[in-house]
Structure 1
Amino acid sequence: MNYAGPGDETAACEGLELVPFQGLRYDPERVGSLAAVTSPPYDVVVRPDGLHHLESADPHNIVRLILPQDTTPAVRNQQAADTLRQWLSEGVLTTDSEPALYVYEQSDDDLLQRGVIGALRLSEPADGVVLPHEDVMPHVVADRAALMRATSANLEPLLLTYRGDGSVTGTAAVVERAAGREPLLSTTTEDGYSHRLWAVTDPAELAEIREDLRRHQALIADGHHRWATYLRLRAEHPSPGPWDYGLVLLVDTARHPLRVRAIHRLLHHLPVSEALAAVSPHFRVRHLEVPLSEALTALAAAAAEGNAFLLAGDGAFHLIDRPSPDLLARTVPADRPEAWRTLDATVLHAALLEHVWHIPEDSPARIAYIHDTAATVEKAERDGGTAVLMHPVREEVVRDLARQGVTMPRKSTSFGPKPASGLVLRALRS
């Protein structure tokens, strides 16, 4: 595909194809509250504390499907499949009467975000329709694929973004009209976000969305592992069929810009003292006896001038910056664009993890990826490990690299707000 640029894709290209589906949704009469059965996406749940909290919020919380708990993966996945069948048979989850696209709104005091949830036809990165920007971990893709096979369902939508022209036409017009109607559901979750959902079933409005989206490409903002899972499972099933599509939320960032945050690292079995001893020959190290908020301000200032990270876990913060040019020359691959070579995530993975701390980036026993800043520090202090706090990368850098076909190191960014899991699911019936 040949696209002219953000919000300016050529109309002749076959772009995004979002189709209606019959959503699975909780019956409000069968659960304590809609808020109590929702969850953040599976990879944002802080385990084990957040997992236990969600499980206790309501016996039907969606976390029992997206993060089933048992002794082995096979048993866990079968448990999720059995739970899903039970909830369907008991009427806890019900199937909407007709296929729909779903307008989804999230809001708090500072933000209003609206998008469309639907089943997106899958495409390969080479097609230029859906652009990934991060590498994935094979063991996570295998885990998600096994769960989707067992349940035959898309349990939570990916978050994709596209760039409209800012006008209230096409998809944007349908979204705004829907938001003026009575919603299917409305709830406020404990993080302070309000959520509303509307069904779009009118053939004229569905056609309006279809014609608009075919001119656009999308960036994967959140859900690279689930997208890779969709592609793997499509290859395993006959086509045409339901596995040719995957559940997504599409947000027009020309109208609703997302927040971009960092994803932090928790290094198990590496005390802060050992981490600092190994890094001190290669980085400037400054010890900060300040609260977390002030430490993050110092990180932002340092990151504006070059690569910088905060280490924590011993009751203080340690700002490391100004990496040795010799270290970077020896460790960072030179066959990528400069924008990639100078990313904090690139320097962290190529220089620090691999060469300084000798930690495999795909080993769950050695490293965890956590979205919540305070939780990362608290877990490091409790477990005796090292928290590596990151500064977020700018969205335009992410999009530019994705358009060049260059993927960033895994877990480089956290776009949000992310869709709440549990508001609408998609069953796959071959």
Structure 2
Amino acid sequence: MKTAGHSEATTRRGLELTPFRGLRYDPDRVGSLAAVTSPPYDVVVRPDGLHHLQSADPHNIVRLILPQAATPTERNQQAADTLRRWLAEGVLTTDTDPGFYVYEQRDGTGLLQRGVIGALRVSEPSDGVVLPHEDVMPHVVADRAALMRATQANLEPLLLTYRGDGSAHGTTAVIERTADRPSLLATTTEDGFHHRLWAVTDPADVSRIQSDLARHQALIADGHHRWATYRRLRAEHPSPSPWDYGLVLLVDTARYPLRVRAIHRLLHGLPVTDALAALDGLFRVRRLDAPLGEALTALGDAARAGNAYLLAGDGAFHLVDRPDPALLARTVPADRPEAWRTLDATVLHAALLEHVWRIPEDSPAHIAYIHDAAATVAKAEHDGGTAVLMHPVREEVVRDLARQGVTMPRKSTSFGPKPASGLVLRTLDT
């Protein structure tokens, strides 16, 4: 059924970015900007990371993006009440002029990423403007939607990439000229990343960015669930409304290539011994008595030849590779492109999780998705479960599948660096 007021989206074929009045922390009202930031909500490793962030500063953004209470309704109401209180107390203040925000991340290895934050018109998948590459879990979308409804805010930007021509023209020219000026804020988070933010309010610069981006489509690098949430909330509100747009960070990867990392799996209630026993005759299994770094190197070497995984949780690493072709033939759907059928995540979900280990992939009680390999192993060892460490997918494979309209299994990739949550928010009050 077509939603009234949204039919014009079918004629749009480029990114439509709109200025907004950012909501930001008043540095005089918090201990430090670094102490109030957080990784994106789904990167925070619960519960240790959550408690660490909560204790860093009483105003840490995690109290909005991951509120803690007995029920979902109470959690969302708590976040809404907290946001209203911080606004009333001046902890968070709204910038005077609408604009875009140039955002820079830099680490000690020489990595530099710059992009532009704005409110992006929410489009449908059929429009071909914003390309998803992963499936989403409905319960997570429902959870994020309830939080956004309660707070009436986009609390953190999702990360989108597009491919410019790699030269200092258009959006890139504005970004790099802006980065030569004094920034609105600068902080260094405990992971060693330096963050800077600038406002772009000059009408000519705003227009230049809009005209440039209107020629491009974007790939969702991080934030599939939040993008699906934007789409759900947009459909719930008659257009035009602030819900027609969602907060994003857009990065030109021709100019600033992202790092692509894997997202690992933690299988609750499945001891490593049981996981390995079930693989007998279906995969080759080799025990590696080596530190994590060496084990991941071995995984990378094995992954060049085919599907490979590292299992951990019993004090050692087990390299699992060379799947039985007969197993793949009877478990992996044949109606998808070969690039999809041979993905490690595809084989893991279709063959191992569903048929060998019989673990439901959408049940938090059975499986967790964790970005950090060491944290995944530590939790498996502590809880008696199994860590499944993955090798990252190349960005060109992700983009090619997305352009074909083929989505990868959920939580297949982790693009980074991800924007820190808490540097700029967007309210949707009308």
Deviations 1:208-235 (A, max 9, x none): 0011000000000000000000000001
The whole-number CA distance in structure 1 between the counterparts of 2:54 and 2:71 is 19
Structure 2 residue 48 is matched with structure 1 residue 49: yes
Residues 367-406 of structure 1: pairs in structure 2 closer than 5 A: 367-406=367-406
Structure 2 residue 334 is matched with structure 1 residue 334: yes
The whole-number CA distance in structure 2 between the counterparts of 1:100 and 1:205 is 10
Structure 2 residue 120 is matched with structure 1 residue 120: yes
In structure 2, the partner of 1:229 is 229
Amino acid of the structure 1 residue aligned with 2:286: R
In structure 1, the partner of 2:361 is 361
Deviation at 1:279, TM superposition (A): 1.2
The size of the alignment, in residue pairs, is 419
> TM-score scaled by structure 1?
0.97
Deviation at 1:317, TM superposition (A): 0.3
Deviation beyond 3 Å, 4+ runs, structure 1: none
Deviations 1:329-353 (A, max 9, x none): 0000000000000000000000000
Structure 1: runs of 5+ lacking an equivalent: 1-11
The whole-number CA distance in structure 2 between the counterparts of 1:394 and 1:77 is 37
In structure 1, the partner of 2:23 is 24
The whole-number CA distance in structure 1 between the counterparts of 2:48 and 2:320 is 29
Amino acid of the structure 1 residue aligned with 2:256: H
Deviations 1:169-189 (A, max 9, x none): 100000011101110000000
Deviation at 1:167, TM superposition (A): 1.2
On the 8 A contact 1:162/1:251 being kept in 2, the answer is yes
The whole-number CA distance in structure 2 between the counterparts of 1:280 and 1:140 is 34
Amino acid of the structure 1 residue aligned with 2:136: V
Deviation at 1:429, TM superposition (A): 1.5
On the 8 A contact 2:21/2:96 being kept in 1, the answer is yes
On the 8 A contact 1:260/1:392 being kept in 2, the answer is yes
Deviation at 1:19, TM superposition (A): 0.6
Provide the secondary structure at the position in 1 that maps to 2:28. helix
The whole-number CA distance in structure 2 between the counterparts of 1:231 and 1:149 is 13
On the 8 A contact 1:23/1:96 being kept in 2, the answer is yes
Residues 150-169 of structure 1: pairs in structure 2 closer than 5 A: 150-169=150-169
Deviations 1:146-173 (A, max 9, x none): 0000000000000000000011110000
The whole-number CA distance in structure 2 between the counterparts of 1:419 and 1:239 is 29
Deviations 1:32-58 (A, max 9, x none): 000000000000000000000000000
In structure 1, the partner of 2:348 is 348
Aligned residues: CA RMSD: 0.8
The whole-number CA distance in structure 2 between the counterparts of 1:23 and 1:204 is 19
In structure 2, the partner of 1:254 is 254
Residues 213-292 of structure 1: pairs in structure 2 closer than 5 A: 213-292=213-292
The whole-number CA distance in structure 1 between the counterparts of 2:393 and 2:254 is 19
Amino acid of the structure 2 residue aligned with 1:370: I
On the 8 A contact 1:392/1:413 being kept in 2, the answer is yes
The whole-number CA distance in structure 2 between the counterparts of 1:414 and 1:207 is 32
Deviation at 1:13, TM superposition (A): 6.9
> TM-score scaled by structure 2?
0.97
The whole-number CA distance in structure 1 between the counterparts of 2:251 and 2:101 is 12
The whole-number CA distance in structure 1 between the counterparts of 2:369 and 2:280 is 24
On the 8 A contact 2:119/2:245 being kept in 1, the answer is yes
Provide the secondary structure at the position in 2 that maps to 1:42. coil
In structure 2, the partner of 1:188 is 188
The whole-number CA distance in structure 2 between the counterparts of 1:280 and 1:178 is 58
In structure 2, the partner of 1:7 is none
In structure 2, the partner of 1:5 is none
On the 8 A contact 2:309/2:321 being kept in 1, the answer is yes
In structure 2, the partner of 1:85 is 84
The whole-number CA distance in structure 2 between the counterparts of 1:317 and 1:283 is 15
Deviation at 1:280, TM superposition (A): 2.0
Amino acid of the structure 2 residue aligned with 1:242: P
The whole-number CA distance in structure 2 between the counterparts of 1:210 and 1:63 is 31
The whole-number CA distance in structure 2 between the counterparts of 1:281 and 1:318 is 15
In structure 2, the partner of 1:148 is 148
On the 8 A contact 1:13/1:214 being kept in 2, the answer is no
On the 8 A contact 1:222/1:415 being kept in 2, the answer is yes
